[in-house]
Structure 1
Amino acid sequence: MGSLANRAVALVVVAIILTALLVTVAGFLLSRSELEQQARNQVETIATLIAGELDDKLALRLEALNHVAQNLTMSGDVLNTRARILIRRQTALEHLFDAVYLIDENGLVIAENPEDYRQAGLDVSNREYFQRISSTLTPVISEPYISHYQEKPAIMVAAPIFDHRQRFIGVIGGAIALDGNNFLDQFINIRIGTTGYLGVATRSGFVVVDQRDHQPMAPVRVANPVLRDAMEGFEGTLETRNSNGEKTIMSVQQLTQVPWFVSASWPAREALAPITRTVDAFVWILLLVILLIAPVALWRFRRLMAPLKTLGIQIRERHLGMRSDPVDVAGGKEIRQVAEIFNTVTDERDEVLVSLAEREAFFRSLTQSAPIGIVQTDVLGRIEFANPAFEAIVGKPAEDLTYSYLADRVDSADRQEAIAGWKNAIRSQSVFRGRLRLAAPDRVIWADVMTAAIQTPEKALGTITVVRDISHELEVEEALKTEQQRAETILRVLQEGVLMVDVEGVIRFANDAACRLLGIEGECVLRNFFQLVTIETEERELTAQEFLSGDDLDSLYVTLRNSLGVPFPIDLTMLHIRQGREDERLVFVLRDDSDRRRQEERLSWEATHDSLTHLLNRRAFNASLVRCLGEAGRQEARSVLMLIDLDYFKPVNDEGGHLLGDDLLKRLAELFKESVRQSDTVARLGGDEFGIILPACGMARAQALAERIRADVEALRIEHDGRSFGVTTSIGLTELTPEDSGPREVMARADEGSYIAKSRGRNTVVVVPSPPAG
C-alpha cells in the first residue's frame, strides 16, 4: 500500500462500497417509506371506494323500497286482500333484492316474491328489523340474521306502509342473501394484489362478506385490535397482524347507511416485495461492479495521472455551473478515476435533487387530496401551508389562513393547553396528541390533533399538524352510550329465565329468574338441568337427547315441572351454540306463559279502550258500527247512531287547566254510560267527541234519549277555585239502513248533524234523515 496508485485503487473501491451502501440504505429507507405509504393509500382508497359503493347501493335499495311503500297508501284490509297482486307488480324490486315481502302490522308475512320462498304466514314480529320499524316508523336496514327459508344468512331492507290516515298498517321488505348472487357477491371478486383480501362486517360483531373463508355472520375476530376498534367506530389505516401473525396493512372505513364497516388488508410482505427484490438485485450488481472496477482501476490508475490543476479547474467550473459537460482530462488512471468519481457523484446528486423535487411535489399533491386536515407552521406557529380538508374544517380559505397563527384557530377554552403541548413537542422532539375544540365561523368543532416537530440536527424548522374532525364521532359515541345504558336497564329487569347448559346437562350459567323457575334457592350453576326438571308437551315428555340432537326451538309452549314438583306453563326457546363440537352449549329461555296471557289481555283492552274515560276507542267503535250495519236488514226497529260534540270545552282546559278538563271528560263518560242500555255502545272518538250506537232503538226513542243527555250535560257543573265550569253538547242523530255502504257514510251523516247543531247556536239535537232507498 506504499504506492499512491494502490492506495487510490483501494480508496476508490472503498468509496464505491460506501457510496453504494449509503445510496442503498438511503434508497431502501426512502423507497420503503414511499412504497409503504403508497400501499397504505392504495388499501385505504380501495376500502373507501368499496364503502362508498356499498352505501350507494344500500341507499338505492332503501329509497326504492320507501318509494314503493309511499305508493301503497290504502287500508289494512285492502293491503291484506291484494297483497299477492301488489307484490307481483313490484318488478323493479326483483332486480334489487333476492326476495320481496309484504308484512302486516302484526308481523305476519302476507305475500312474497318469488313465491317459492314459502314465507307466507310466517310470524316475523320478533325480528329486529320489524321491531325497529314498528317502533320508529322509519325505513331500516337490518342487522344480518338467519332467514327462515333454507336458514341462510341475509339482511332485510324494509320501509313502513301507512294508510290514508298515516296509521301504520304493514311493512314492505327486500331480503338480500349474504351468500347469494347479488351486489355483495361482487366484492368477493375484488382483490388487493395476490394475497390481499376484503371484508365487510357489522359493528355488532358479525361478518357480512369475507374473501378468505366466505362465512357470512361468523363472529368478527376481536383479537385483532384494528377490528375491535372498528366495532367502536374507528376509521383509518394502520399496521397490524393477521390471524397467522403476519404483518398486514389494514384500512377500515365506516358506512353511513348502516352500522357496518369495510376492512381492506394487504400482507406487508407482498406490498413491500418490490423494494426487497430491488435491494437484492442492487447488492448483486454492486458486487459485480466491484469485481469489474477494481482490476480496471488498478491498471488504469498507474497510467492516467493527469495534471491535477486541469482537473481542479474543470471541477471548479462544473461546480460553479460554468461547465455543463462532465470533466474530461487526460492523464494517469488516478486522475481519470477521480474525474469519473466526480462525474458519478455529480450525476447522482442531480438525480437525488430531481427525486427530492418529485417527492416534494408528491407530498403536496398527496396532502391536497388527503381526507384529513394537514397544516404546516414555522417555529412561531404561523401557518405556511394548509390543505383543503383543513380549510373545510375551520371554514376559512387558504388566503385567510396563510401566515396567521394556528393557535388562533383553537377555541379559547383549549388554546393554552394547545400552545403548551406544541411548545413541548418542539422542545422535546416528541409528538403532541390531544382532543381540542376548533373555532369555526358558526360552530365549535371537536378534533383529534397530532403535532410533530420538523427539524434538522441543528435547529427546529416548524411543525406539521394533522387534524381530524371527530364531532360526528362524539355524537355517535354519546348515542351508543345511551343505547348501552338502555340495554343494561332492560337486562336488569328481565323476568325471563335464561340458562346455558353443556352436553352433559350441567348448568354453566343461569339468571335469578331461571333459578326460581327451577325451584332452587340461591345459585343453581353446576346442577344438572335435566335432572332438576321435566319438560312436557301436550302429547309427551321431552328427553335430554331430543334437545341435544334436535334443531333449535322457537316459542314452544310446554309445561315445566321443577325440582319441587311445581308446574309452570312455559314459552320455551332453545338455541345450539357450537353444535357438534366438544364445547357445545344449549341456551334455554324460559318465559312464564301466564304473564304473557295476562299481558295480551291487558294489551287487548288497551287497544280497544280510551285510557282516560275507559270508554271504547274509535277503532272498537268502528268495529261495533260495522257489525250493527250488517244486522240492519234483519231488525224491525232501526238502529241509530248518535255523535256528541262538546261545546265550549276549550275554555275549560285553558282557564281551569287540563286536570279539570280530564275530570270533566270522565264525569261525562259516566253520565253517558248511565243514560243508555247495556246493549248500547258508548265510545270516546277523540278529544271532545263521543259516539253512541243504539241498536234496534228507533228514531223517536233515540231523539228523546239525546234530549235527556243534552239536558243532563247542560246541568252538569264543576266547581274549581271559586268558579263554575261546564259544557253543552251539539248532537247529531241518523238511522242505520241496509242501503248504507259502510260506517264512513253513516258517520258523515251524524257528523253533519252535529255541525248543523253548532251552526244553530249549539246545545241542540239535530236529526239527519237517511237517504231514500234507491
Structure 2
Amino acid sequence: MLQAIWPGSLQARLALFCSLAILLVSLLLCGVGYLQDSARLRAQQQRHAEEVVARLADDIDERVRSRQVLLEQAAANLQPSADDIRLHGGEIIRQFHYLKGSFGSVVLYDADGSIVADYPALPGRVGLQLGDRAYFQQTRQTLRAGVSEPLRTRGNLNRSVVVFTAPILDSHGQFAGMLGGSLELFSPELFGELRGMRIGNSGYITLTSRQSQLLLLHPERARVLQPAPSGSDATLARALAGWDGSVLMAGKPGDASLRVYRNLHNVNWLLTGIYPQQEALAPLAAVASEYLVLLLLALLSAVPLAWWGTQRLLRPLTALQRKVRALPDGGGEAILVEGCHELQVLAATIAQVFHERRQIADTLAMREAMFSALNDTSPLGVFVCNADGVLSYGNKAALALAGMERGSAYWFGRSWLEAVHSSHYQQLAADWKRWSREPTGEFLQRFRLNHVRHEPLLVTLRCSRMPGAGAPRFLAVLEDISERDANQTCLAAERQRLQALLQTVGDAVILTNQHDEVLQMNAPACELLGVKLEQAHGRSMGLFVALSLPEHDQPVTLAQLAEQYHGQTVALNLLGRDMRLLPVLFSLSMVTAAGSMHGYKVCVLRDDSVRRRRDSGLRAESEHDALTGVLNRRGMLAMLGALLADDNARQQPHCVALLDLDHFRQFNDKGGPQAGDRLLQEVARILQRRLRTSDCVARLDADCFALLLYRCSSDTAARILNDIRHEVGQLRSGSDDGAQPLTASIGLSTVQGGDRLAQEVLQRAERRCRHAKQQGRDQLIASDR
C-alpha cells in the first residue's frame, strides 16, 4: 500500500523536497554563520594585535622624542667655541647633570670627535677618538640631532649602546662640538618592560633597525644584535622599506602567525608584533561544535516538519476541486492526468481558461474602440498608406492639416503627396519612393503642406512600416510645427539681442539656469575664467568657477551665495583654471518672473585686486609697531583672539607673558631718546631670536612687551623666559655711568579653557608682572599670590 501511494503522492514528493530544502538551508546558514564568525574572530584578533603594537610604537616614539628634545634644548643653550669645549669640557658637562635621569651617561665631543668630558665619569672614555663613527659624521655634516645605530663601545667598555646626538654651535653658527647621550641597549630606561611584553599568552614583539637590519629586541636574548631574516621574508623586507600593516604568515602546522609591522616616526626602527595563529583562532573550535549541534537538530526535525507542513498546505486543493466541479461548464472532467492524483483536481480549471479567453477578446475589442475614439480626437494627424502613398485611413486631424475638408471619400484612394507644397514636392516624392521600396528605420521629413484655405503649414512627418504579411503598409504621424518654428525664430532674435547687450558690459557676466548650467557669458567673463563659451555652455558653473570666502579661505557654492547674499555685493576669492587666486567682487540676481526662466541666475564678477591690496597694506601698518617692527597691542589682541576662537587649538597648551623693562626711564634720560630706541630695538631682536618663528612678539607701550607662545607648556615657557631675562640683564646703555642695570620683570599666564576674551588673558599676565616688580624686579612670576 505504501509503495503504491509514495511514488504518485504529491504530498510525499513535496515533503521529501521540503526536507532536503530544510537540510540544505540549515547547512548553508551554518556554513555562512561559521565563516562570518571565523572572519569576525580573525578581524577582532588582528585589530587587537594592531592596537597593542600601535600603542607600543607610540610609547617608544615618545621615549625617543622626549630624549631628543631634551638633548637638543641642552645643546641649544650653549654657544662655546671649539677651544672652550676642549679647555673647559668638564665645567660644561657638569651643567647637564640633570640629563642623567634620561640617559645612562652624557658625553661631550670636540669638533674632531674626541671625547673631552663625560658625566658620570667612566674610566677610559675621556680621550677616545670617535670621529669616524657614522653618528658623529652625520651630526657634523647635517647639524641636526639624531640617534645612532646599535654599536659596541671601544676600549675596555664592552657595551651595546645607542647614542642620542645634538650638535653644539658657536656664536657664529659653526660646528663646535657635539653633545651625546648614551643608553645601553638593555637598560630599563629605553625599553623598560617591553622585553617581557606579550600579545595574548604566547605572542611577542621584536624591534629591528631598518638601516643595519639588526634585531634590537627579541624574547630570545641570543638573537639580539643578529641580522633579521629579511632576505627570506619578503613581507619583512617590505616593512623595513617603510610599509606599515598586518599580514597572516603561513608556515608549517603550528607555525602560522599574525604579524603586525609599525615603523617608528622619530627613529629608524621597525616594531613587529607576532601572534601565533593557533592561539588567536582557538575559540573557533567551540563555535564549530555549536554549529554541528544545530545541524543535527535540523536533520532530526526536517522530515516530520516537512510532512506536517505539506499536509496543511495541500488541504485547499480538495476544496478547490469541489468548487471547480460545481461550475456549470466544467469541461475539465474529461481531461485525465496520469500519475499524481492531485493534478487531476487541476484538470477542471481548464474550463476557466476558456472563460478567461473570452473575457480577453472582449477587452481587446473595447480597447480597439477606445483607440479609434482617441485617434479621431487627437491633435496629431494620423494616416495609413501603401508604398505608393495612397491613403487607406486618415483621422480628422490629418484631413484638417492638409485642408482635406472635402472628406475621406475624396482623399482615400489618392496619394498624400498631392497635399505637399510645390516647393518641396519633387524632393519629398523622390525620398519617399526610395525609402518605401526598402524601408529601414524611420522616415522623418520636414516640409510644407499646401493648405487650400490658409497659408502653407510647416509640418513634420514620421512614418514607419506596420508589421504584418502581405503588401507593405505604413503608419504616418503629422504634426503642425508652424507656431513652434515662429517662436523659435523670435527666441533666437531675443538671444542675439541679449548677447549683444552682454558684450557691451565691462564686468564679467554669466547667465545660468535653475541647475547652475552656463547659458551665456560675455567676453570679460570668458577672459576672467579662461574658458570659451562653447566649452562652458550647458555645463555646471562649478566646473569653471571656484569661489571662497577670503576670511578663512572657505569654499562657497553658488547655491549658498544665492541663499545668503542674494542681491548683495560680496568680496570673494576666485580660483581660476590657471590656479591663480584673484580677488573679485561678486553679485548675484535671480529671475523671479513667471515662465520657463524662473530661477535663472545672473552672476556679475569684478576684479577687486587693487582695493584688496590697499586694504591689506593699511591693516598691516595698523597692527605693527613702527619702531621695533613687531606687533602692537592691536595685532597681539587679534592673534590672541583668533587663538581663543579656535576650539581645536585651545585643546593644546599655550602661554602668554608680559615683559616690562626695569629702570628703562633712567637709561632713556641719560642716553637720550635715540639710545632708548636702540635699546628697545635690541630687546625686540632678543625676543624674536629666543622665540620660535611661530610665536608672536608685540610692543604694548614704551617699555612693555607681550609674548604669545603656541603649543608650549608653562615649564618650558618659564625656562625660555628666564633665559630672555638673563640676556636682557646683560644689555648696557652707551652712557652707562653707574646707573641701575637694565633688568626685566615678567608675568607668565597660560591660556585656560574658560578664556573667551583676549584682553582678560593679557590682564592676567599684566597683574603677575606687577607682582614681579613689587617683589624687587628682575623676576618671573607665573602665578597669582
TM bracket, shorter-chain basis? 0.3 to 0.5
The alignment's TM-score, normalised by the length of structure 1, stands at: 0.36
The alignment's TM-score, normalised by the length of structure 2, stands at: 0.36
Max radius of gyration: which structure? 2
